[in-house]
Amino acid sequence: IGYFQAAEGGTLFLDEIGEMPEAMQAKLLGALQSGYTVVGETQRRPLKCVVVAATNRGDVGMKHDVRQRFGVLVVAPSLAERREDIAQMMACLLLRRAAENTEFAAKFLETDASGQPHVRVDASLVAGLLRTRLPGNLRELDSILGMAIDQARGEPPLRWPARVPFPQPAPLEIRKEPTHHSADVLIEGLERRPAPTEPPKIVHAPDESVGSGARPLPSKERVLEALNATQWRFKKAADVLGITTDALFRLRDKYGLRED
């Protein structure tokens, strides 16, 4: 029994299809278009399964006509494009390791006030993961966590692995403060200017902000208050401040804040 026959009534997942030789892709195309032939038979059997394929090479290495046989294309964004998911993915991978390793769970796993389990990590690990580009996506994230676990030697919390250079923070966008003139200068300018034919347009200078929104930059005291109120849990503190976790880490470095 081949894979197509075994998957009848279900789903056949073809991983790394971009690595498949073109000759094999030609056979796959025939199966997708008109069914498959079991060894020892002469009649084609209809394909009775859903076929899903994955590749990290895009269209490179994949025959164009094979690509067209797949009706739906799903492009998964890289971790660099969805940095807000990194902390949650880190927690998921660590909890999976704890479920598979009782010794690791006994030393690093704890339960918070709400009854939710989590692995004890240092802020340096979270900050490093948020700052690094992670070109290897989930595999690289899991590899860094593995190095952090090896480095800890059974002593929580997990910290950024020393063998990996700690990435520098992305610089905050600095916007020049608007220039304010005295009332005398403004009045003098109005006296010399001819009366406008239509009401002048008022243009407001943008506030200094974190990211691309218009929210003002939280003060050092406000950031410290939010961190202390949430016991330095950066995700919760960021929610309180109404900013992203990455922005909170940059503010912590900007203000030189450290947990006592």
Give percent of the chain with pLDDT exceeding 90.
Answer: 46
Span 138-152, average pLDDT: 96
Burial of 256 (0-12, 13-18, 19+ CB in 10 A): exposed
Q: Which of 2, 17, 5 is nearest to 49 (CA)?
A: 5
Give the orientation angle of helix 137-152 with respect to helix 123-131, to 10 degrees: 150
Residue 235 has pLDDT above 50, yes or no: yes
Contact (Cβ atoms closer than 8 angstroms) between residue 251 and residue 210: yes
Beta strand pairing status for 50-53 and 11-14?
Answer: parallel
Return the amino acid letter for 165. Answer: P
| Banded model confidence at residue 19, pLDDT cuts 50, 70, 90 | very high
Distance CA 253, CA 255 (A): 5
> What residues contact residue 91 under an 8 Å CB cut-off, 6+ apart?
118, 119
Residue 61 has pLDDT above 50, yes or no: yes
pLDDT tens digits along 68-100: 898 888 888 888 888 889 999 999 999 999 999
- Mean pLDDT, the chain, as a whole number? 83
DSSP tag of 45? B
Please provide the distance, in angstroms rounded to a whole number, between the alpha carbons at the two ends of the chain. Answer: 64
Whole-number pLDDT of residue 113: 87
Phi, psi values for residue 106, rounded to 5° = -65, -30
The token duo for 88 is 């949650």
